[in-house]
Amino acid sequence: MDAIIVGGGIGGLTLALALHRRGIACRVYEAAPQFKSVGVGVNILPHASRVLAELGLEDALAKVAVRTREACFYNRFGQLIYSEPLGRYAGYDWPQFSIHRGDLHALLLDAFRSRAGADRVHSGWRCVREEQDADGATAHFRDANSERELPPQRGSVVIACDGIHSVIRKQLYPDEGGPIYSGVNMWRGVTRWHPILSGASMIRAGWLAGGKMVVYPIRNNIDAEGRQLVNWVAEIETPDYKRWDWNRPAEREDFIGAFEDWKFDWLDVPALIRGADTILEFPMVDKDPLARWSFGRVTLLGDAAHPMYPRGSNGAGQAILDARALADALARYAHPVEALQAYEAERLQPTGNVVRTNRKDPPDAILREVFLRSGDRPFAKVDDVISREELVALSEGYKRVAGYDRNALSARR
């Protein structure tokens, strides 16, 4: 068994580590000429941190990430709507981590190189197509810089971990079309800032119609003043957008107006935005769930299989769960085609449910309900707007769909 992994992001590298742990040889081919930090912050929910812990990475994660303590929901007037503990603070057997995407990627890459060998990872290899026969599958590549043809790479299976613009997905579904825009544009940045609330809080505030913010720390003690690196995301309903790209620079004046009066006793939001070194812009997009991922000896994983709105802190987590399921299947089944079919049977429906739920009722649906019921006005008591029972039901319902309900997760040993 020898797996060709197309794409060296979070999903591809987690898969490589999981396969190596099970004694299955693999090689990773990444299109980017150099591995470098992409994106900003990412959350690793307990179901995903469990997988990374099984790979022996929990201690390394704890050194570079923030152990997330609580989720807090506020209206745009800074009034607390709902809060709940997270990760081990909520009784899970595994923590929740908030981490810079670049730190997570570097951790995964270093772990795989040290365990499997640096010669198992190749950068600057841009996949252009795959083909297969009864005995194996082949990925064809070009040099990312010169576009010269590179030697074809053959293995028992080819696994597409090449993201929302996956070349292999497009080959399998040539008439699918591009990503579907949600109507919401996002601006993301990181700012050096003193700890907010608990210093390990994940904050969601406002609502999309008038502006929504997500704020959480991703590195601790970055300087002598004890400041953190704080990730923030500004989301606004916007009719026009540009192509999805993690690294497109943005101008703060394009969106900061929606947040100019967001000055609370616990956070000055416009100051946080103005303090950012750089700001990135990209639209909130996804794709409709597919009927199948696996075609003979080729399959899809992560965003190549199920791109979803980043509204449940769950995109990277679902890719990590895919990686574990696929590695398990390849270790369990004698024939690769059977393994890919079993992997698809396990993960296709759950991830489709997450895609659909992220469109309709993600965790921040709590903010939507309060926005609608209050008429976007301050409240005297949140209980006058929505009951505690409804808030808990919204939160717990998402956990069940996404696969990290505490009782169910602890029961799956």
3-state secondary structure of 15: helix
Q: How far apart are CA 36 and CA 17, in angstroms?
A: 19
pLDDT tens per residue, range 79-120: 999 999 999 999 999 999 999 999 999 999 999 999 999 999
pTM for the predicted model, two decimal places: 0.96
pLDDT tens per residue, range 156-177: 999 999 999 999 999 999 999 9
Pairing label, strands 180-193, 228-237: antiparallel
Could you tell me the strand order of the sheet in which 41-44 lies?
A: 41-44, 97-100, 66-67
Q: Which two tokens stand for residue 83?
A: 């809060």
HSE of 45 in the Cβ direction (CA atoms, 13 Å)?
22
Homologous superfamily, domain 2-42+101-178+290-360:
FAD/NAD(P)-binding domain (3.50.50.60)
Please provide residue 129's backbone torsions phi and psi, each rounded to the nearest 5 degrees.
Answer: -175, 170
Kindly indicate the confidence band of residue 34, based on its pLDDT and cuts at 50, 70 and 90: confident
The residues spanned by each domain of the chain are: 2-42+101-178+290-360
Q: Is the pLDDT of residue 125 over 80?
A: yes
Please provide residue 205's backbone torsions phi and psi, each rounded to the nearest 5 degrees.
Answer: -145, 150
Q: How far apart are CA 51 and CA 55, in angstroms?
A: 7
Q: Which two tokens stand for residue 226?
A: 């004890």
Pairing label, strands 70-74, 201-207: parallel
Q: Once rounded to an integer, what is the mean pLDDT over residues 174-181? A: 93
Task: Say what the pLDDT of residue 242 is.
Answer: 66
Give alpha helix (H) positions in 333-387.
336-360, 365-374
